[in-house]
Structure 1
Amino acid sequence: MYNDWFIKFAPSAYRKTRIKTTEDVESTLAKTANLTDVSPAVLRREPGVLPTLRMATCPPLAVDRLIGLAGISRNLVGCMERGTIPQRMNATLLERDLDRIGSIIERMADPDIFVWLGRRGAASEPEIHRAATIVADRLCGAVANPIIRNAQEKRQLAAIGAWLQMRGYRALPPKIMFDAMPPGTFGFRLNVPVKRQGPEGTKTINIPVDTVVMPKRGKAGDLPLLIEAKSAGDFTNVNKRRKEEAAKMTQLRVTYGAKVRFILFLCGYFDSGYLGYEAAEGIDWVWEHRIDELAEFGL
C-alpha cells in the first residue's frame, strides 16, 4: 500500500515543493544580482538568503563547513539560517563575517549552474530559471524524507477523518481542548498537556497528537482515544524513531494514569522489532489497510 502511494503521489508532492522552492531561489538570485553581489550590505538586508547560497556552491556547503571555511561566528550563521541578524553582535565583527561569507560564496559558486558568472553578458531568463531549479532540487533533496512523510501524514489523517465521518463523528475546530470534547467528535493535531520531570522539578508541557477521538459512548471523565499516524518507506528509519512514541506514552501515563489510550495508525515498513518495542510500552496499533479495526477501540 505504501509503495503504491509512493509511486503515484510522492513525485507530485516533491515537485510541488520544488516549484515553490524554485520561486524562492529565483527571488534570492534577484536580491544578489544573480549571484554577482553577495556583499555585506546585501546579506545584512537579506540574511534569509543564506540557505540558498550554501546550495549554490560547488560542492554545496553544510552549515558547519561554511563556518569552518570562513572562520565566522556560529551564532551569526544560525541566526541567518532563521532569517535574522544577531542584534547584539559587534558591528565591526558583523561586517567582517558577512564579508567572509560573501567571499566564500562568490569564490565557490558553481560555474556549471551559474553559467553567466565570469562572462560579460547578463544572465538570460532561461539560464536563471534552470539554475534556480537545480538549486531548488538541492534544497529539496536535503529534506526529501520530511516532504514525503508530511504528504503521507496528510493523506493518513484524511483517511481517518473520512472513516470517522462515515460513522457519524463530527470534526471539531483545531483549538478545542482535548479533555472538553463531547462524545462522537474528533480533532486533528491537538495539544495534550503532560507532566515532565526535569532538573528544576515537574513542569507541564504540551505534546501534539495527530488525531484525538471521543467515542460516541464516552462518559463524563472518560479520556479520548489518542491516535498517532506513522508511515515509513524503509525499516531502518522506524527503528531510529521508535523511542518517540514510547516517550509520549510514558508522559501520558504519568499524567493520566493507566487508563490513557494511545495507539498508532501505521502504513509502510514497520517490522517486528519496532512493533515489539511499542507493544512492550503498552502501545497498540492499527494498520491502515485494515482501518476498520479502529472500531475495536470503541469507535
Structure 2
Amino acid sequence: MAVNLDKPHLWKADISQSVDMYNDWFMNFAPSAFRETRVEVTKDVEATLRATENLTNVTPEIFRRYPGILPTLRMSTCPPLAVDRLIGLASVPSSLVKRMEKEKKLPIRLQGNALDIELRKIGKIIERMADPDIFTWLNRSESPSQTDIYRAATIVADRLCGSVTNPIIRNAQERRQLAAIQNWLETRQYRKLVGQDGVKFDQMPPGTFCFRMNVPINLETGKVINIPVDVAIKPKSSSMDELPVFLEAKSAGDFTNVNKRRKEEAIKMSQLRSTYGDQVQFNLFLCGYFDSGYLGYEAAEGIDWVWEHRIDDLAGFGL
C-alpha cells in the first residue's frame, strides 16, 4: 500500500514543512558540526606542519610517509591550488596527484627514483608558493612560536573545511536522520544488527534492522556487484523468506541539486527489481528541499517516501 507517492494533494504542504525543518536544523546545528570538523582538521594541519618542519622541508620522504597530506599542502599556498592547477604547475602525472588526493596512497607502478623526482617537483611548488601571510615565519630567521603555528593551522583548516562544506553538512544531517530512524524503530522494540552479527540482508530475523547494508545485484553484463542501502528493516510480521524494507536517507539544502540526482534512486530501484522482482520495497526518508518535480519523478518510478517531519508514516510500510 502506498504511503505518500499517491497523495499529491499533500505534497505542497509537506514540502513547506520539510524545508522549514531542514532550515531550522541548519541554523541550530550545522555551525557546530562545521566547528567540530574544523577542530579535528586543525589537528591534522598541525601534524602536517610538524612533518614538513613548518613547511620548510617538503621532501619526497615526507610524501612517502604521509601521502594523504597533499590536500593540506594545496590549501597552504597563495593562492590555494586546485588539483589540476598543481598538476600543471609541477608537470607531474595526473594519476600520481589524484591517487594521493583520493586514496591517500602513492602509485603502484611509479616507484623508486622516478617517483622521488615527481614528488620533489610537487614539494618545490608547495615551498615556492607557501602563503607568507599565513606562515609568517618564512620571512624571518627565528622559529615560529606555538601561537604562530596554531594560527596558521586554523586558517588552513578553514580553507580545507570550506572546500568540503557540503559533505560536512550532508554527513551530519545523515547521522541525524539515521538516529531518528533508529529511535523510532527501537521505541517499537526493533533490534539493531551490527557488523559483528554477520547477518546478510536476506537472513535478517523479523524485528531487526541494520544500517549500511550491502545488497548484491545482477548487472546486464552478468556481473554481480554490491550496492549500499542506508537502512534495511525486517518487519516483525514478515516471514524469513520475505525481503526487508529498504530505506535511503536523503536530505537537501536546495532544490537544484535534488533534481540533478533524482535518477540515482530510480537506477537503484531498477537494479533491485531486476534482481529480486517487483516485491522489492525501496523507499526514501526525506528532509529538506524536495519539490514536486522530484516527488513526481520518484512516484512515477514506483518509489515511495516518508517525510522526517511525519516519521510515523514509517508504519505504513508494515513496520
Same fold by TM (over 0.5)? yes
Instruction: For residues 69-118 of structure 1, give each alpha carbon's deviation from its aligned partner in whole angstroms, at most 9, with x where no partner exists.
Output: 11111222123323333343254432322221111111111111111112
Counterpart residue number, 1:88:
109
Q: 2:308 aligns with which of 270, 288, 292?
A: 288
Question: For the Cα contact (< 8 Å) 1:39–1:102, is it kept in 2?
Answer: yes
| Superposition deviation, residue 148 in structure 1 | 0.8
Question: For the Cα contact (< 8 Å) 1:176–1:190, is it kept in 2?
Answer: no
Letter in 2 for 1:15: R
Counterpart residue number, 1:130:
151
TM-score, L = length of structure 1:
0.95
2:203 is aligned with 1:180:
yes
Structure 2 gaps of 5+ residues are: 1-20
| Superposition deviation, residue 168 in structure 1 | 2.0
CA distance in 2, matches of 1:258, 1:88: 46
2:129 is aligned with 1:108:
yes
Question: For the Cα contact (< 8 Å) 1:170–1:186, is it kept in 2?
Answer: yes
Structure 1 gaps of 5+ residues are: none
2:278 is aligned with 1:258:
yes
Letter in 1 for 2:246: L
| Superposition deviation, residue 167 in structure 1 | 1.6
Counterpart residue number, 1:147:
168
CA distance in 2, matches of 1:41, 1:224: 50
CA pair 170-239 structure 1, distance change in 2 beyond 3 A: same
Counterpart residue number, 1:169:
190
Higher RCO (CA < 8 A, seq sep 6+): 2
Letter in 1 for 2:57: D
- Counting only pairs closer than 5 Å after superposition, residues 59-70 of structure 1 correspond to structure 2 as 59-70=79-90
CA pair 38-225 structure 1, distance change in 2 beyond 3 A: same
CA distance in 2, matches of 1:11, 1:291: 25
Letter in 1 for 2:261: R
SS in 1 for 2:286: strand
Instruction: For residues 171-193 of structure 1, give each alpha carbon's deviation from its aligned partner in whole angstroms, at most 9, with x where no partner exists.
Output: 22234211111222111111111
CA distance in 2, matches of 1:113, 1:41: 24
| Superposition deviation, residue 142 in structure 1 | 1.3
CA distance in 2, matches of 1:95, 1:273: 53
Q: 1:25 aligns with which of 45, 52, 55?
A: 45
Question: For the Cα contact (< 8 Å) 1:211–1:228, is it kept in 2?
Answer: yes
SS in 2 for 1:186: strand
Counterpart residue number, 1:39:
59
SS in 2 for 1:189: strand
Structure 1, 34-43 or 228-237: larger mean CA deviation:
34-43
| Superposition deviation, residue 284 in structure 1 | 0.4
Letter in 2 for 1:216: K
Counterpart residue number, 1:235:
255
Q: 1:57 aligns with which of 77, 80, 87?
A: 77
SS in 2 for 1:19: helix
Counterpart residue number, 1:208:
228
CA distance in 1, matches of 2:138, 2:297: 55
Instruction: For residues 19-54 of structure 1, give each alpha carbon's deviation from its aligned partner in whole angstroms, at most 9, with x where no partner exists.
Output: 111000000000111001113333333322211111
| Superposition deviation, residue 222 in structure 1 | 1.4
| Superposition deviation, residue 2 in structure 1 | 0.8
Report % sequence identity.
67
SS in 2 for 1:160: helix
Question: For the Cα contact (< 8 Å) 2:287–2:308, is it kept in 1?
Answer: yes
Instruction: For residues 216-259 of structure 1, give each alpha carbon's deviation from its aligned partner in whole angstroms, at most 9, with x where no partner exists.
Output: 11124211111111011111111121111111101000011111
The size of the alignment, in residue pairs, is 296
2:273 is aligned with 1:244:
no
| Superposition deviation, residue 269 in structure 1 | 0.4
